[in-house]
Amino acid sequence: MRLQFLVSAVNENVETLAERMNLQADAIVVNQCDRNEYREYTFEGNRIRCYSFAERGVGLSRNNCLMRADGDLCLFADEDIIYRPGAVKAVIGEFEKNPEADMILFNVDVPKERRTYHIDGYGRVRWYNCGRYPTFSFAARTQKLHEAGVTFSLLFGGGARYSNGEDSLFLAQCIRKGLKVFRAPVTIGRENGRPSTWFRGYNEKFFYDRGVLYRFLYGRAALPMALRFLLKNRAEMFGGQKEKENDETASREAGLSMGQAFSLMRKGIGMKE
């Protein structure tokens, strides 16, 4: 099987990117910058095709990569991921062991403050537990994605109207289209820590945007899933204090209570924009 990296980047020097990321296979790089151009080079025998576009939006970048993908397998990547030696063989090996899998999610080490997931066992990913995996954990059979006609949302993620969630929506779309998604406790790389491109604290926009995301992600189950999200993460989002009877637990970043956060999420869920 032939694996291909699909790299989304912003204002990068594409000619040094393959070496910095330790790309061990062919790659398609989409670099969002201030110009439109195409470059191609070889790194350690691998073909690196680089498309620069004067545009913004991570969903748009992912789609530009995916529409050009032609490997048996594709592995979505960000510019700040550094892959372990043997990562490509590890990914291919998991697909060979599980021919039923259309997509497999892998571990990528990230700084603790940015960590949203860790896979510690093999298993199936379902609609109700697909909301925490970043795109750079996704590897898939390219033809299966093309046949299903799945794409990344242009409404969510860096450079888009709503803060984040394009990864969760893509994964949920894959599952709804009948693709079989699995997770594997295999670490393939690490994130070279950088400031978030969208997170500015647990403020009003964060909770409203999360509500809009849950509307699209969970449909009729959006409200209970919103409550579950707040309860599960209340220690981090609301300062680790026990909630008071009058619901005045302060958020460390914005002074919002859990009740206010839920109201904002509910408003997002019911958005009529």
End-to-end alpha-carbon separation of the chain, Å?
A: 45
Residue whose token pair is 């950088």: 194
pLDDT at 121: 97
> Does one domain contain both 235 and 118?
no
> Does one domain contain both 159 and 208?
no
**Which residues fall within 8 angstroms of residue 97, CB to CB, at 6 or more apart?**
none
> Does one domain contain both 151 and 220?
no
Structure tokens given for 113: 């403050």
Q: How far apart are CA 117 and CA 135, in angstroms?
A: 12
pLDDT at 241: 43
Instruction: With respect to residue 171, please indicate whether it lies within any of the assigned structural domains.
Output: yes
> Does one domain contain both 162 and 43?
yes
Q: Quick one: pLDDT band at residue 196, thresholds 50, 70, 90?
A: low
> Does one domain contain both 77 and 15?
yes
Kindly state the percentage of the chain with pLDDT values over 70.
92
Q: Which of 151, 169, 191 is the last residue of a domain?
A: 191
pLDDT at 254: 54
> Does one domain contain both 155 and 231?
no
pLDDT at 247: 37
Provide the domain limits for residue 14: 3-191
Instruction: With respect to residue 186, please indicate whether it lies within any of the assigned structural domains.
Output: yes
pLDDT at 193: 72
pLDDT at 198: 67
SS3 assignment, position 46: strand
pLDDT at 11: 95
Name the more confident of 28 and 272. 28
Residue whose token pair is 């998604």: 181
Name the more confident of 127 and 3. 3
Contact 184, 119 (CB under 8 A): yes
Average pLDDT over every residue of 151-172: 91
pLDDT tens for each residue of 17-53: 999 999 999 999 999 999 999 999 999 999 999 999 9
Structure tokens given for 78: 């960000």
- How many folded domains does the chain comprise? 2
Q: Which of 191, 223, 248 is the last residue of a domain?
A: 191
Percentage helix, strand, coil for the chain under 3-state DSSP, each rounded to 5: 35, 25, 40
Average pLDDT over every residue of 183-212: 88
Average pLDDT over every residue of 220-235: 93
**Residues for the chain: how many in total?**
273
Lowest mean pLDDT among 16-25, 93-102, 199-208, 219-228: 199-208
Average pLDDT over every residue of 93-112: 97
Q: Is the pLDDT of residue 251 over 70?
A: no
Average pLDDT over every residue of 146-158: 94
Structure tokens given for 259: 């009740």
Average pLDDT of every residue of the chain: 91
Farthest CA pair distance, the chain:
64
pLDDT tens for each residue of 50-85: 999 999 999 999 999 999 999 999 999 999 999 999
**pTM for this model (two decimals):** 0.88
> Does one domain contain both 219 and 96?
no
> Does one domain contain both 149 and 68?
yes
> Does one domain contain both 152 and 247?
no
Q: Is the pLDDT of residue 248 over 60?
A: no
> Does one domain contain both 118 and 180?
yes
Instruction: With respect to residue 199, please indicate whether it lies within any of the assigned structural domains.
Output: no
Q: Is the pLDDT of residue 169 over 50?
A: yes
Q: Is the pLDDT of residue 146 over 80?
A: yes
Q: Which residue from 24, 25, 186 is spatially nearest to 98, judged by alpha carbons?
A: 186
CATH code at position 69: 3.90.550.10
Contact 176, 110 (CB under 8 A): no
